[in-house]
Chain A
């Protein structure tokens, strides 16, 4: 676990997450590491903070508000009604009012008002407008990296003001003046070079996948393939690179392979586009998001596949579902009978409905499950043909492979789900304090459902959520192994054709 002792206190779990009293400045000290010049320049940003950052930042803000209606409308429309103030997990966990969604927005809005609105130019005090100073800039850097872009605030705002849009714009402004964040920019640079966020080169991937084939064969006696760069396969699987090795992610990947196998479809992973995650979204950069997305288009074309399926990942699914067609489309070269792209959950549920998969649900009997709706999946995407399918389908799949299931409190799931605390480019050790504190509402709901319903495990369909839970659960006195992939559950329960069932352990 963490090498150093944490320098902050983990909040205590109460019976219900409480709305704390405003306590100014509790998180002012926390900022992520700044990006190295090489990584900034790789993304076409200046290497270091430019001399004329003041002018350049305002220029960028002006540019963005003419290109993004969301930014322009949201900067103008907030009436300070306060509906969002108690909706952000980071405010609930830190008490810092600049972590209230509107407090966060106001850091940018006060500058917008000062330089671009009549009222702010002539009556700054009256409307809360303020000059752009070095302190403001650092505050942006600090607080716009304490937002996981989870969009919970936008659900409750009467105008749908989405603080994620503001955070993305702010991060793009920061990048454009050479003040980028290390974690995100380094990862995007790595992906551009190697093809995935972890920097796993092709041969290493091939090794891993071969290893998986052996493991699955040893366990089941079925030759399930985990193919790499196989031309002419039916399906290109794009999955977060964490799936290639880390627990519990890799168990999910094993599960996808078994489902494809049983469905009788050939599939492949691409070493060129071996990453579903697209951190271009976190930094709000259309250009970078597009550059990353185009790799998937190229891989699909080069491999000549008919369909593209995405693995379990939250923001990746947002980029895939909502943006991919825009960024890298049109995908008219793929089979028009299937949505482009498709989520692995849609794929598996379809197979289950068709009756193509056999399960022994009792294989998951030692667990009682609950499901964590990942914020980007719940509030920015859809699965299936009906609105809300993104909540239903994963639950349907879990219930198809497990006997014991209970939901967490309804105010903390579905469209109101609480972020795991690690999304939006915050999944880095230098931000551990905000990650732990921001997990408070989710941990509270989890602990409650554990006590009330005997839940033992929490399933998720997002690589970031899984990694974050693994790290954060122990801070709250729970066990890191309590987080599981949905396709891990599928993998446990599935009985493939010809699978030797006699060595199923009987306890």
Chain B
């Protein structure tokens, strides 16, 4: 049992890391031949960093677009973020990190629990929107519903462990920390935990092949990450340069 999960998580981690790395390399290598920032756009690098920050942390454009989606989407993501921070303690020993980071993680532990509810509530909101708004229903493929369901069940099984049938958190921690050195211990055999971990593995394996590529994608979007300075600075892609040299 623990052997199976150990292999599963090693596999899932490899797929996630290698899959994402390949995508990031692909995005980074593909040139953006023209300046296409959606204007008004920042005219300095630091302005762009600020724009990206607002986009990633507050979903600025989405806020302009649709308030309900923004509300649910932001609840879900901020919840997810806090939950994942809280989960760090299962994978790293305090001594591996600088002290202040660990203090931070300790500090958000109590908030984390509300975060879990925010996350699940956001997911439910997004799911309802997908069903009830005819335009969103039209553009949804089965996978779009399944992602929400998958994440919802991960959250639900996690909350079950937290509030209904507790699992041996210390054992879980020892198992995952042990994975780093390929010397894992036993995993508690609890139904919610098995569900939780199986779904998480599925999430990790499909991540690099799905729309979850919006995570690296948002950072590589030329309409958002370009500096608006085409008149001041000539921008030329390598293939365009080669074309220029030919004629």
Contacts and interface: CB of A to CB of B under 8 A. Distances in A.
Interface string B133-170: 11110111111101000000000000000000000000
Nearest to A387: B40
Interface residues of A, number: 74
Contact of A323 (B34, B143, B224): B34
A22 B65 contact: no
Given A158-B55, A159-B217, A325-B234, A76 B23 contact: yes
Interface residues of B, number: 63
B30 interface: yes
A70 B222 contact: yes
Nearest to A70: B222
Contacts of A77: 211, 213-214, 217-218, 221
A109 to B, nearest CB: 10
Interface in A375-397: 378-382, 385-388, 390-391
A381 to B, nearest CB: 6
A165 B136 contact: no
B139 A80 contact: yes
Contact of B230 (A154, A325, A390): A325
B236 interface: yes
Interface stretch (A118-126, A452-460, A493-501): A118-126
B171 interface: no
Contacts of A157: 61-62, 65
Contacts of A82: 66, 69, 129-130, 133, 135-136, 139
A378 B39 CA distance: 7
Contacts of B143: 119, 123, 126-128
Given A21-B134, A72-B30, A82-B66, A325 B235 contact: yes
Interface in B1-46: 23, 26-27, 30-36, 38-43
Given A81-B73, A87-B65, A158-B62, A69 B32 contact: yes
A287 B243 contact: yes
A330 interface: yes
A150 to B, nearest CB: 11
Contact of A160 (B33, B38, B42): B38
A326 B139 contact: no
B81 interface: no
A330 B233 CA distance: 9
A80 B40 contact: no
A70 B38 contact: no
A478 interface: no
Contacts of A290: 243
A326 B214 contact: no
B244 to A, nearest CB: 8
Interface in B204-247: 206, 209-211, 213-214, 217-218, 220-224, 228, 230-231, 233-237, 239-240, 243
A97 B138 contact: yes
A341 B230 CA distance: 10
Nearest to A101: B139
A162 interface: yes
A119 B19 CA distance: 13
A81 B142 contact: no
A151 B27 CA distance: 22
A155 interface: yes
B39 A106 contact: no
Given A76-B23, A77-B211, A158-B218, A380 B230 contact: no
Contacts of B184: none
A251 interface: no
Contacts of B41: 382, 387
A80 B136 contact: yes
Interface in A347-382: 378-382
> Shortest 10 CB-CB distances between A and B: which pairs?
A77-B217, A156-B65, A128-B141, A83-B65, A160-B223, A387-B40, A82-B136, A85-B135, A158-B62, A160-B224
Interface of A: 19, 21-22, 65-70, 72-74, 76-87, 97, 100, 102-103, 106, 117-119, 123, 125-128, 151, 154-162, 165, 286-287, 290, 321-323, 325-326, 329-330, 339-341, 378-382, 385-388, 390-391, 415-416
